[in-house]
Homo-oligomer: A and B are copies of this chain.
Amino acid sequence: MQQIDATPLSDEELQGLDAYWRAANYLSVGQIYLLDNPLLGEPLRPEHIKPRLLGHWGTTPGLNLVYAHLNRVIRQRRREFLCVIGPGHGGPAIVANTWLEGSWTEAYPNTTQDEQGMGRLFKQFSFPGGVPSHVAADVPGSINEGGELGYSLSHAYGAAADNPGLVVACVVGDGEAETGPLATSWHSNKFLDPVRDGAVLPILHLNGYKIANPALLARIGDEELTALLQGYGHEPYLVEGSDPATVHQAMAAALDHCLDRIDEIQLEARSSPERPARAAWPMIVLKTPKGWTGPHTVDDLPVEDTWRSHQVPLSGVRTNEEHLRQLESWLRSYRPEELFDNDGRPVERLLEFAPGPDLRMGSSPHANGGMLARDLELPPVEEYAVPVKRPGAEDGEPTKVFAAYLRDAFRLNAEYNNLRLFGPDETESNRLSAVYEATDKAWLGDRRATDENLAPDGRVLEMLSEHTCQGWLEGYLLTGRHGLFSSYEAFVHIVDSMVNQHAKWLKTINRLDWRRPVPSLNYLLTSHVWRQDHNGFSHQDPGFIDHVVNKKAEVVRVYLPPDANTLLSTMDHCLRTRNYINVVVAGKQPQPNWLDWESAALHCARGIGVWDFASNDEGDPDVVMACAGDVPTLETIAAVDLLREHLPGLRIRVVNVVDLMRLQDSTEHPHGLSDAEFDALFTTDKPVMFAYHGYPWLIHRLTYRRRGHDNLHVRGYIEEGTTTTPFDMVVLNNLDRYHLAMDVIDRVPSLGTRAVATRQYFADQRVRHRAHVTKYGEDLPEVREWRWTS
């Protein structure tokens, strides 16, 4: 691998850098170990040591080195940088650095830059009531917690998008690099426009180990590693060594070179009338020992430069005198007396080494995206509404209707460069292609004459990696911009754990007063469980909703708009919100338009409501038929139609739910209905047949405390399905109109015997259905052609 053969640092610069690095290392070790005696004013004693030693040392010296060197180039180039730390378990490193540069104290004024503050900094780390061990939201300058490994690079690219002046340095752990999400996210460079976007500088931290094993990339040899990184589209530069002075020179030289290359690439792209060919962006491979500068051996076992340095190299410090002694000499090896004055304040040359408040990474407004976020300009949503003269008389394709609105949203915000659409190559399949009238798909790879809608500066990002889409979007949102992820419902489970982490991030920033709310994470799940006509069983899973509702109520919203106008209204709302995870499930197939714009807007504002057009209960129902989701709504209305025809006296109330969280208790969720409202809608003593989009148990979990819960019968997806007709899907899961109607007959007291012939007719229809689809491969005409006419 190439190395830059230069020693750009003067002695003074070298010493400055090294001092800064030593200071950060000292502060990191202090956080892991010290409860007291932060400046080592007296010899270390057991009572100065924390009773529980937590945290990770191994990765820390490398992170500190990177941070110090970035500070140098920021000062020299006066350019905005952000630093994304893949191995975020090296939390002490970034906490230390932000304290040194002053941004920590700005966020947490009590943790002053003096002995008392240093003592607090040390004590609070991984301590009850203190700060967690990762580069979490609590850490200024962070947009990547790094607890769950694998998302640093996609976050970095999301941050760089539409920020042409920004350089996002991204440290990737050599262990982290083994994760699937990270491994594919290298290809993000084919979606980065050198004109409109900023730059990402990956720094692969080849410290050789993960927890208890060597890292793969550290053990495939230089040739394979070089080929791999070139294959990813990069020009890699090696910085290798364990002698600090040598590494400082090499790192400075490599950084200078890489940043010059970035300037060249950007300048060329920005100044040439024709687009130059895609450039191989530079990157750094930093090969230094894990646990560098820590104890070389402990209890006669090698620690530095082995996996044993991963967590806490010295574990018996409170009880083992030798460990205590080793810790003290380790700490003193950084020569704290040169780094902090008697008051514990970093000495002047350290303070000067850090960039000023305008450019230091811990204060970057990009990392506190709410500071920069501008509300979207949104078109007047009612103008996109489909006319609905009679409920259910005509069909619409909800996502297609929404697409026109989204297209115009792109147009209205074009000058602000703050909106993007993400998807794993499903935008077209999800009928959102109207957006291509306003913008293209980002594509920096080779192009062919037959390609369509590809351009370097497209705002639609499509890569067949749900992980990368999600990571990009998170990075984009956390730096204060807006976005929407459209995915198949089943496959959004691929990012379950990423959603967890984002939900945790949002929960955390809600209680950090210096963090401003960021635009919401919006999902549009349109190829959903009921309409996988081409695909079948593997594509049928509505459980993402169950997954997200386990997260804190304050951050989670779930919407199931049943038709085009309700989808419009829902999306228009979601795009205006902050700090939420909005999950919207809606169909892309033609389906009846139920509500005109005015009713739709009211219905969505309420989130739940009686549908008068389908109800004949006059305030006193025999049965409540509730529904949530487009297909369940269709089946419910069709069931009502059947019941009205066959049992005209039956008083039916239809309740539709758009905002699923309305079902929960108002004490459990901010959107929850009060008991009085719930009881009024659903009654406390009448049977309620609930046709639900997803797994039926979720409705019980949301409503088990309600008074009428014992009367609630839910139909939903019970994991039955294959490649079959749309109506057969609902039949297989007992969610079809006939079954719903039979359910009503079974539950409404006294109907049973009276309606036995009707019930039998419904049951027979299901048999007829089976015979018909098996023979003809399409649904019964009376099902396909059914329309609400009552």
* Chain A residues proximal to chain B, CB less than 8 Å: 35, 50-52, 54-56, 89, 123, 126-134, 136, 145, 147-150, 175-176, 178-185, 187, 190, 210-216, 219-221, 224-233, 302, 305-306, 311, 425-429, 441, 443, 445-448, 450-451, 454, 462-468, 490-491, 493-494, 496-497, 500-501, 504, 507-508, 533-539, 541, 543, 546-547, 550-552, 695, 697-698, 700-701, 704, 709, 719, 722-725, 728, 770, 773-774, 776-778
Question: What's the least CB distance linking A140 to chain B, in Å?
Answer: 17
Contact between chains at A448 and B178 (CB < 8 Å): no
> A462 contacts which of B129, B213, B547, B697 (Cβ < 8 Å)?
B213
Closest-by-CB residue of B relative to A123 is: B777
Contact between chains at B35 and A695 (CB < 8 Å): no
Contact between chains at B446 and A179 (CB < 8 Å): no
Query: In the bound complex, how far is the Cα of B441 from the Cα of A211, in angstroms?
Result: 14
A–B complex contacts, Cβ < 8 Å, 8 sampled: A54-B533, A128-B773, A136-B536, A147-B536, A147-B539, A180-B185, A212-B428, A546-B547
Query: In the bound complex, how far is the Cα of B464 from the Cα of A231, in angstroms?
Result: 21
> A537 contacts which of B212, B221, B224, B504 (Cβ < 8 Å)?
B504
Closest-by-CB residue of B relative to A441 is: B213
Query: In the bound complex, how far is the Cα of B452 from the Cα of A306, in angstroms?
Result: 11
Contact between chains at A493 and B504 (CB < 8 Å): no
Contact between chains at B187 and A504 (CB < 8 Å): no
> A233 contacts which of B148, B180, B224 (Cβ < 8 Å)?
B224
10 smallest beta-carbon distances between A and B, as pairs: A228-B231, A147-B538, A180-B180, A219-B445, A183-B184, A493-B497, A227-B231, A178-B464, A128-B773, A212-B428
Contact between chains at A128 and B179 (CB < 8 Å): no
Contact between chains at A445 and B214 (CB < 8 Å): yes
Chain B residues with CB under 8 Å of A724's CB are 127-129
Assuming the A-B contacts A497-B493, A550-B719, are A210 and B425 also in contact, with contact meaning beta carbons closer than 8 angstroms in the complex?
yes
> A133 contacts which of B302, B494, B535 (Cβ < 8 Å)?
B535
Contact between chains at A425 and B89 (CB < 8 Å): no
Query: In the bound complex, how far is the Cα of B493 from the Cα of A698, in angstroms?
Result: 19
Contact between chains at A181 and B178 (CB < 8 Å): no
Query: In the bound complex, how far is the Cα of B538 from the Cα of A501, in angstroms?
Result: 6
> A445 contacts which of B190, B216, B537 (Cβ < 8 Å)?
B216
Query: In the bound complex, how far is the Cα of B451 from the Cα of A616, in angstroms?
Result: 76
Chain B residues with CB under 8 Å of A428's CB are 211-212
Query: In the bound complex, how far is the Cα of B280 from the Cα of A224, in angstroms?
Result: 10
Contact between chains at B134 and A538 (CB < 8 Å): yes
Contact between chains at B534 and A311 (CB < 8 Å): yes
> A535 contacts which of B89, B128, B468, B773 (Cβ < 8 Å)?
B89
Assuming the A-B contacts A129-B773, A212-B425, A704-B709, are A220 and B538 also in contact, with contact meaning beta carbons closer than 8 angstroms in the complex?
no
Assuming the A-B contacts A233-B224, A535-B147, are A187 and B178 also in contact, with contact meaning beta carbons closer than 8 angstroms in the complex?
yes
> A175 contacts which of B427, B454, B464, B722 (Cβ < 8 Å)?
B464
Query: In the bound complex, how far is the Cα of B491 from the Cα of A722, in angstroms?
Result: 30
Contact between chains at B190 and A184 (CB < 8 Å): no
Chain B residues with CB under 8 Å of A535's CB are 89, 133-134, 147
Question: What's the least CB distance linking A685 to chain B, in Å?
Answer: 16
Question: What's the least CB distance linking A694 to chain B, in Å?
Answer: 9
Contact between chains at A490 and B500 (CB < 8 Å): yes
Which of the listed residues A145, A467, A722 has the most CB atoms from chain B within 10 Å of its own CB?
A722
Contact between chains at B147 and A214 (CB < 8 Å): no
Closest-by-CB residue of B relative to A55 is: B534
Assuming the A-B contacts A147-B539, A175-B464, are A778 and B695 also in contact, with contact meaning beta carbons closer than 8 angstroms in the complex?
no
Query: In the bound complex, how far is the Cα of B179 from the Cα of A776, in angstroms?
Result: 37
Contact between chains at B231 and A225 (CB < 8 Å): yes
Query: In the bound complex, how far is the Cα of B175 from the Cα of A464, in angstroms?
Result: 6
Chain B residues with CB under 8 Å of A213's CB are 425, 441, 443, 454, 462
Contact between chains at B52 and A533 (CB < 8 Å): yes
Assuming the A-B contacts A212-B429, A233-B220, A539-B147, are A178 and B51 also in contact, with contact meaning beta carbons closer than 8 angstroms in the complex?
no
Contact between chains at B54 and A534 (CB < 8 Å): yes
Contact between chains at A534 and B56 (CB < 8 Å): yes
Given contacts A128-B724, A176-B464, A178-B463, 16 further A-B contacts (CB under 8 A): A133-B535, A134-B538, A147-B536, A178-B464, A190-B220, A214-B448, A220-B445, A224-B233, A490-B500, A493-B497, A543-B547, A546-B550, A697-B701, A698-B701, A700-B701, A700-B704
> A134 contacts which of B305, B447, B536, B541 (Cβ < 8 Å)?
B536
Chain B residues with CB under 8 Å of A215's CB are 464
Assuming the A-B contacts A190-B216, A541-B500, A773-B129, are A426 and B697 also in contact, with contact meaning beta carbons closer than 8 angstroms in the complex?
no
Query: In the bound complex, how far is the Cα of B495 from the Cα of A496, in angstroms?
Result: 9
Contact between chains at A133 and B723 (CB < 8 Å): yes
Query: In the bound complex, how far is the Cα of B491 from the Cα of A493, in angstroms?
Result: 13
Chain B residues with CB under 8 Å of A89's CB are 535
Assuming the A-B contacts A54-B534, A496-B496, are A180 and B777 also in contact, with contact meaning beta carbons closer than 8 angstroms in the complex?
no
Query: In the bound complex, how far is the Cα of B149 from the Cα of A134, in angstroms?
Result: 32
Chain B residues with CB under 8 Å of A776's CB are 51
Contact between chains at B463 and A216 (CB < 8 Å): yes
Chain B residues with CB under 8 Å of A466's CB are 179
Closest-by-CB residue of B relative to A702 is: B697
Question: What's the least CB distance linking A80 to chain B, in Å?
Answer: 27
Chain B residues with CB under 8 Å of A227's CB are 227-228, 230-231
Query: In the bound complex, how far is the Cα of B215 from the Cα of A184, in angstroms?
Result: 13
Chain B residues with CB under 8 Å of A728's CB are 128
Contact between chains at A465 and B178 (CB < 8 Å): yes
Query: In the bound complex, how far is the Cα of B773 from the Cα of A445, in angstroms?
Result: 55
Which of the listed residues A426, A429, A547 has the most CB atoms from chain B within 10 Å of its own CB?
A547
Query: In the bound complex, how far is the Cα of B187 from the Cα of A224, in angstroms?
Result: 11
Query: In the bound complex, how far is the Cα of B551 from the Cα of A551, in angstroms?
Result: 20
Contact between chains at B722 and A132 (CB < 8 Å): yes
Contact between chains at B427 and A212 (CB < 8 Å): yes
Chain B residues with CB under 8 Å of A52's CB are 533, 725, 777-778
Chain B residues with CB under 8 Å of A450's CB are 302, 305-306
Contact between chains at A774 and B128 (CB < 8 Å): yes
Contact between chains at B216 and A224 (CB < 8 Å): no
